[in-house]
Amino acid sequence: MSKGFEVPDKVIYVCTGSKCKKKGGKEIGKMLRNMIKDMGLKGKVEVVKTECTDRCDFAPVMSFQPDNVWLQHTTEEKAKQAFNDHILKTDGQV
Ligand code: FES
């Protein structure tokens, strides 16, 4: 039996096209996925891998929805900061 069609509250789209993947996007996506798991946010927040988003000069690229915040030349630090600001918000609530 397949899973029901459940939709998370927030989504982080991580580009895993070849350029972003090579520049560490895949590992950062993995880190975010682990953070979601560790914080018990599975089901509420989801990491979705995407194909190339046509912004390869700015790799690795990812976006945080629904705030529509896009990161370029993403580092682990930048991704953690965006996670705090746009997923957890200041009150720690999703
Ligand atoms: S591979 Fe990520 S923008 Fe092209």
For the cut 80, the answer to whether the pLDDT of residue 90 exceeds it is no
In this prediction, residue 89 carries a pLDDT of 84
Mean pLDDT, all residues of the chain: 94
With respect to residue 52, please indicate whether it lies within any of the assigned structural domains. yes
From the list 5, 26, 6, the residue with the least C-alpha distance to 15 is 26
With respect to residue 1, please indicate whether it lies within any of the assigned structural domains. no
CATH of the domain at 49: 3.40.30.10
> Is 53 close to ligand 1, i.e. is its CB under 6 Å away?
yes
| pTM as predicted | 0.91
With respect to residue 51, please indicate whether it lies within any of the assigned structural domains. yes
> Is 20 close to ligand 1, i.e. is its CB under 6 Å away?
yes
With respect to residue 78, please indicate whether it lies within any of the assigned structural domains. yes
Give me the domain span that covers residue 45: 10-88
With respect to residue 4, please indicate whether it lies within any of the assigned structural domains. no
For the cut 90, the answer to whether the pLDDT of residue 24 exceeds it is yes
Biggest CA pair distance of the chain: 42
User: Ligand 1: which residue has its CA nearest to atom 1?
Assistant: 17
> Is 17 close to ligand 1, i.e. is its CB under 6 Å away?
yes
pLDDT digits (tens, 9 = 90+) for 57-88: 999 999 999 999 999 999 999 999 999 999 99
With respect to residue 46, please indicate whether it lies within any of the assigned structural domains. yes
For the cut 80, the answer to whether the pLDDT of residue 2 exceeds it is no
> Is 59 close to ligand 1, i.e. is its CB under 6 Å away?
yes
* Secondary structure (H, E, C), the chain: CCCCCCCCCEEEEEECCHHHHHCCHHHHHHHHHHHHHHCCCECCEEEEEECCCCCHHHCCCEEEECCCEEECCCCHHHHHHHHHHHHHCCCCCC
In this prediction, residue 14 carries a pLDDT of 98
Tally of domains in the chain: 1
How does residue 4 score in pLDDT terms, banded at 50, 70 and 90? confident
Q: What does the pLDDT average to over 14-24?
A: 97
